Amino acid sequence: MKRQKTGKSLALTPRDLAIFELLERYRYLRSTSIHAFVGGASATRFKERLGDLYHEGEYLNRPAQQWETAHSRYLPAVYENSDRARDVLAAQGRLADPCPHMPYGTSGAGRQFAHSLMICETLASIELAAKAKADLRFVSWPEILAKAPEETRRSPNPLRLPGFPRRLKTAATELACSGYTVPDAVFGLEYGGEARRSYRFFALEADRGTMPVMRSARGQTSFLEKMIAYHGIAARGVHKSHLGIPNLLVLTVTTSEARKQSMLSALSGAIEDSAMFLFKEVGAAAHRSSATLGAVLHLPWDRAGHSHVDILKPGDWRPMESTSESSA
């Protein structure tokens, strides 16, 4: 949990630089996820190398918030880049915009750290699952943003999706949504071979049970209000005008089966066509282990009033944009 130098000499390797670049994209990742991305014959030796980069070189940090949970010492360590790693990347012209997936300065408190880590590990698990399939490619947020309208590219917060004032009657209450909706992340999946490609794009919501599923009072933050906002965004084509993507589905990862069922129930009572919303329960501990989370993400996702779907397969469960070009 604290740096302990031994005086061991340390010369950076190409794989070390690949680790630094990966952590610039994902900010927080466990050692198991980092190893899955950059490779190495020996997992044990790879962990030792991460330890060297932490203790001897001070290129990596181990966020202190990870040690606050009861079983933290039995879990793979979480790493992030230090300023020294970023200086190395900058000197070689390999430093991209800071943390495309997880902006810096948003994870001071322990609760925020856990949420950020859940986002990063969910995205990493989906990207790793895509890398394992020859006919599937993960489309990152920087790639999406690079093709977005100029106004969005210049925005200080391009993930901020414009909303609109609206009220929606349900059996129990009347809910309102307005202002802006900010996903935890946005990514895409490219399906198919060279001749014909198709795409789906997703907004990710990582739910740790801190937000009420729904409220009786109007204008108060709730999960349902945010889903209503997403429904309005899709209906008005905001994803097309703001991000330049042809479709948008919403993935919600939560930590308990009971909460997932509560979300599905609330959604079915508020939105008639809720096919764009997909849900998965990963368990209270699963988001702390990328191996467990990765396995769960291979299972079908639930929808309110619709059949289960596997996001890793194209299928016909939602219209997609098809093209013969090489990028989304």
Note the pLDDT tens digit of each residue in 112-167: 888 888 899 899 999 999 998 889 999 999 999 999 999 999 998 898 998 755 55
Tell me the C-alpha distance between 99 and 141, whole Å.
10
Nearest in space to 153 (alpha carbons), one of 97, 99, 201: 97
Specify the higher pLDDT residue, 197 or 242: 242
CB 319 within 8 A of CB 248: no
Provide the residue range defining the domain that includes 37: 11-105
pLDDT higher than threshold 70 for residue 324: no
Note the pLDDT tens digit of each residue in 261-287: 999 999 988 888 889 999 998 865 544
Any domain includes 6: no
Whether residues 77 and 214 share a domain: the answer is no
Whether residues 142 and 216 share a domain: the answer is yes
Whether residues 29 and 161 share a domain: the answer is no
Any domain includes 159: yes
Whether residues 94 and 140 share a domain: the answer is no
Nearest in space to 103 (alpha carbons), one of 208, 160, 30, 26: 26
| CA–CA distances in Å: residue 279 to residues 72, 81, 93, 203, 263 | 27, 31, 40, 12, 9
Q: How many domains does the chain have?
A: 2
Whether residues 85 and 211 share a domain: the answer is no
Any domain includes 111: no
Any domain includes 186: yes
- 112-138 in b/e form (b: 16+ CB < 10 A) is ebbbbbbbbbbbbbbbbbbeeeeebbb
Note the pLDDT tens digit of each residue in 90-119: 999 888 765 455 544 333 344 588 888 889
Any domain includes 310: yes
Tell me the C-alpha distance between 11 and 35, whole Å.
19
Any domain includes 268: yes
Domain containing residue 66: CATH number: 1.10.10
Whether residues 99 and 140 share a domain: the answer is no
Any domain includes 141: yes
DSSP label of 222: -
